[in-house]
């Protein structure tokens, strides 16, 4: 029986300075949109019963900001730490976008979260 060839693996792409800046901008834009959406939700729902949306929006903004800080560090970093942070950012952005889809007034936040999640996917391809 002939030996099968190993599965093809994707070669990591080189990350340019411009790509990094774009990824950081996407995360900052998402964090700002989530903060804005959380404020709108609090006004709409009231502080007594804010529901899940403001908490998730605030968490998404925090994760986006933390991910931006990790990516902006100029020192050598543990690739696994970076990968986990970016995957976490992607996951919470998708979760936040799904929740925002339930509220038409939150369409801009949902779109910013989707853009950020897509940027996270693209960034993950640059890792080895």
Kindly report, residue by residue over 37-74, the tens digit of the pLDDT: 887 777 776 655 557 888 888 899 899 989 988 888 86
1: in domain: no
6: in domain: no
Domain range enclosing 28:
17-126
11: in domain: no
20 three-state secondary structure: helix
Rounded to two decimals, what is the model's pTM?
A: 0.77
Q: Give the number of domains in the chain.
A: 1
35: in domain: yes
109: in domain: yes
4: in domain: no
Task: Report the CATH number that the domain containing residue 108 is assigned in CATH.
Answer: 1.20.1270.360
d(CA 32, CA 35): 5
Confidence (pLDDT) at 28: 82
Confidence (pLDDT) at 128: 64
The one-digit pLDDT tens for each residue of the chain (128 residues) are 444 444 444 444 556 778 777 777 878 888 888 888 887 777 776 655 557 888 888 899 899 989 988 888 866 778 898 899 999 999 999 999 998 898 888 888 889 899 899 989 988 888 86
d(CA 119, CA 29): 12
């Amino acid at each position: 029986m002939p030996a099968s060839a190993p599965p093809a693996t994707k070669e990591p792409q080189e990350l340019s300075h411009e790509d990094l800046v774009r990824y950081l901008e996407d995360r900052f834009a998402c964090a700002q949109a989530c903060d804005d959406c959380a404020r709108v939700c609090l006004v709409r729902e009231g502080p007594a019963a804010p529901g899940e949306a403001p908490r998730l929006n605030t968490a998404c903004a925090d994760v986006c900001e933390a991910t931006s800080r990790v990516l902006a560090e100029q020192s050598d970093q543990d690739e696994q730490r970076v990968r986990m942070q970016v995957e976490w950012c992607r996951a919470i952005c998708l979760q936040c976008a799904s929740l925002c889809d339930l509220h038409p007034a939150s369409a801009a936040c949902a779109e910013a979260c989707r853009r950020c999640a897509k940027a996270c996917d693209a960034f993950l391809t640059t890792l080895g």
